[in-house]
Amino acid sequence: MLTGRSEDFSFTNGGNIVNTAFIVTQAGVLVIDSGPSRAYGEQLRRAIARITRQPVVRVINTHHHPDHFLGNQAFAPDTLAALPGTIHGIHTEGGSFNDNMYRLAGDWMAGTEPVAPTLPLAAGPLELGGHRLELIALEGHTGADLAILDRSTGVLFAGDLIFHDRAPTTPHARLPAWQASLDTLEAQPFRHLVPGHGPVATDAGPIRQTRAWLGWLDHTLRQAADEGLDMTEALALPLPAEFRRLAVVDAEYRRSVGQLYPALEQQALRTGKARE
Amino acid sequence: MNIHHVIAAAALALGPGIAAAQTDPLDSPRWGDMKKEFLPAAARVVFDERVRVIAPLTAENALNVPVSVDASALPDVKEVLVFADFNPIARIVRFEPGGAQPGLGFRIKLQQSSPVRAAARTGDGSWHVGGTWVNTTGGGCTLPSTGSASPEWQKRLGEVSSRVWPKKEGGERLRLRVIHPEDTGLAAGIPAFYIQQLDLADAAGTPLMHIEGFEKKLPTTPGCSPAAARISASPTAATS
Ligand SMILES: [Zn+2]
């Protein structure tokens, strides 16, 4: 596994804020997420080559966010795979994500173009070189979030459904669905948990941390909208002390308000109408 | 959904007024131009912290920046003009509070980092100016463009939803949303189309607030398409 920094995208980190991973099997290497840029994907491929002579036979994108698929160019096109919703997301939003990454990470992005996987994945067991993998199709962080449980080793690759010691991002989030996905993940028999962002854990701590943040965010913003707060007032609400230890929590709260509050405001206006 | 909405919220109560300064506290090279363009040459103009402009220091989405203006700490406010120094359409909104408190919340588009200011004219004819800097990377420009591309707004154009909340400190807050594309005229091929005027009144017809939006055509700015400051939202009045 390659651990990214718990930061925002920047010219300094070149977008390396994400965790990517690979599993070496007798039948080749399976890569889980390809990183934020062509350069990252190429480095990942070289890192794999230093460890094994096995070829990369499968590259899976857990979801369609740019830091999870923009390294796809470094790999053979016919190895790229994802859930159908992820493939669709990369087709429709990949270009604008890519443009945005150039703006946020600068030269690190040189030569990067979005490449959508052609191989659609379905939920269920996947056997590769003696590894018994389970593909778990979930949603909530985006419309299609894939988690992968390696039953042979007890490692659960959770993608961005789990953030650990870093505040979750919510540009495509649907919070109730996300919460349900967390319950599914917590029920899996894992020994190691690999979050999309933040350090690996050996217990369900990161799941509970993500659940606590999403629960607080959902409750707080709903209540704010129902009380008629303006967005500037919602932005000024204090964050509970328990979340202060999450990296980039202030910036993510600000972004989440911008992403989630408009729909809640509109709902509050509709509610008001129904009561009249 | 590619529909711009209009939401506004009333002002909050403020602390005591603070003495005015004469140099631009936001230190913007555009201040001189703004003053010349928007405020009468002969008028007394002071920077005054009693005019509060509340907006995020960093706006993640430049297409939808929340701004609240509150001049209720000033006595006898006749009108308030809101503008952003560095926007291609600098003027954002003008309102006359009438029977409402001089407070208004709305959403704007920002082309780049800029001061966002409110100038409030009081009964004695002087203008009181407050403001804040809003930083933006322009990241909002990568979002799918809004408004005219959506067939939905045409069906729902002019649809209004609203709700009144009682305020703890007395009076009421009205929040209001109007379905409208709020096109600036700066995006290639899309003519300006925006709310020019909005009047709020109570059930008896007594005027509460009069609100005006602005538009001014400029050559298309490269880079970001709907380039301008526009009220993607508008208003409300607090009836007090
Ligand atoms: Zn993500």
A268 in contact with B, Cβ within 8 Å: yes
Count CB neighbours of A107 within 10 A.
10
CB < 8 Å to A99, chain B: 142
Work out the minimum CA distance from B37 to partner chain A, whole angstroms. 28
Residue B238's closest chain A neighbor by CA? A228
- Per DSSP, the residues of A246-266 read SBTHHHHHHHHHHHHHHHHHH
A96 in contact with B, Cβ within 8 Å: yes
Work out the minimum CA distance from A89 to partner chain B, whole angstroms. 13
- The DSSP H or E segment spanning B130 is strand B127-134
What domains can you pick out in chain A, each with its CATH number?
Answer: 21-203 (3.60.15.10), 214-271 (no CATH)
Are the beta carbons of A38 and A73 closer than 8 angstroms?
yes
B155 or B189: which carries more pLDDT confidence? B155
Distance A210 CA to ligand 1 centre (A): 13
Predicted pLDDT of residue A24: 96
Structure tokens at A121: 């994945």
What domains can you pick out in chain B, each with its CATH number?
Answer: 3-233 (2.60.40.2470)
Predicted pLDDT of residue A1: 79
CB < 8 Å to A271, chain B: 163
Are the beta carbons of B173 and B163 closer than 8 angstroms?
no
Across chain B, mean pLDDT equals 73
A250 in contact with B, Cβ within 8 Å: no
SS3 (DSSP) at B104 = strand
Using the predicted structure, report yes or no on whether residue B19 has a pLDDT greater than 60. Answer: no
The lowest-confidence range among A243-257, B41-55, B213-227 is B213-227
CB < 8 Å to A231, chain B: 7, 66, 105, 107
Are the beta carbons of B176 and A265 closer than 8 angstroms?
no
Work out the minimum CA distance from A232 to partner chain B, whole angstroms. 6
Structure tokens at A135: 């593909």
Confidence of residue B206 (pLDDT cuts 50, 70, 90): confident
Please write the tens of the pLDDT for every residue from B90-109. 888 899 998 888 999 988 88
3-class DSSP string for A82-147: ECHHHHHHHHHHHHHHHHHHHHHHHHHHCCCCCCCCCEECCCEEEEECCEEEEEEEECCCCCCEEE
Distance A160 CA to ligand 1 centre (A): 5
- The label of the residue with tokens 């928007």 reads B38
Q: Smallest Cα–Cα separation from B56: which of B139, B132, B111, B4?
A: B132
Task: Determine the distance from the C-alpha atom of residue B135 to the mean position of all C-alpha atoms in its chain, rounded to a whole number.
Answer: 17
CA dist A77 and A96 (Å) reads 21
CB < 8 Å to A232, chain B: 54-56, 66-68, 105
Using the predicted structure, report yes or no on whether residue B116 has a pLDDT greater than 70. Answer: yes
Using the predicted structure, report yes or no on whether residue B215 has a pLDDT greater than 80. Answer: no
Using the predicted structure, report yes or no on whether residue B227 has a pLDDT greater than 60. Answer: no
CA dist B139 and B143 (Å) reads 8
* Cβ–Cβ gap A265/B142 under 8 Å: no
CB < 8 Å to B142, chain A: 96-97, 99-100, 103
Are the beta carbons of A105 and A10 closer than 8 angstroms?
yes
B32 CB-near residues (< 8 Å, 6+ apart): none
CA dist A29 and A35 (Å) reads 16
A251 in contact with B, Cβ within 8 Å: yes
CA dist A119 and A174 (Å) reads 26
Q: What are phi and psi of B93, to 5 degrees?
A: -155, 150
Taking the model in full, what pTM does it have? 0.84
Distance A57 CA to ligand 1 centre (A): 24
ipTM over 0.90: no
* Cβ–Cβ gap B177/A266 under 8 Å: yes
Percentage of the residues of chain B whose pLDDT score is greater than 70: 63
Work out the minimum CA distance from A255 to partner chain B, whole angstroms. 6
CB < 8 Å to B173, chain A: 228
CA dist B21 and A62 (Å) reads 55
Order of strands, sheet of A21-25, starting from the edge strand that comes earlier in the sequence: A21-25, A28-32, A56-61, A80-82, A119-120
Give the strand pairing for B207-213 and B197-201. Answer: antiparallel
Residue A99's closest chain B neighbor by CA? B142
Predicted pLDDT of residue B75: 95
Structure tokens at B54: 């509340």
Write the single-letter amino acid at B194: Y
pLDDT tens track of chain A, all 276 residues?
Answer: 788 888 888 888 888 889 999 999 999 999 999 999 999 999 999 999 999 999 999 999 999 999 999 999 999 999 999 999 999 999 999 998 898 888 888 889 999 999 999 999 999 999 999 999 999 999 999 999 999 999 999 999 999 999 999 999 999 999 999 999 999 999 999 999 999 999 999 999 999 999 999 999 999 999 999 999 999 999 999 999 999 999 999 999 999 999 999 999 989 988 765 443
Distance A168 CA to ligand 1 centre (A): 8
B226 CB-near residues (< 8 Å, 6+ apart): B63, B109, B145, B146, B147, B183, B184, B186, B187, B190
- The DSSP H or E segment spanning B197 is strand B197-201
Work out the minimum CA distance from A78 to partner chain B, whole angstroms. 29
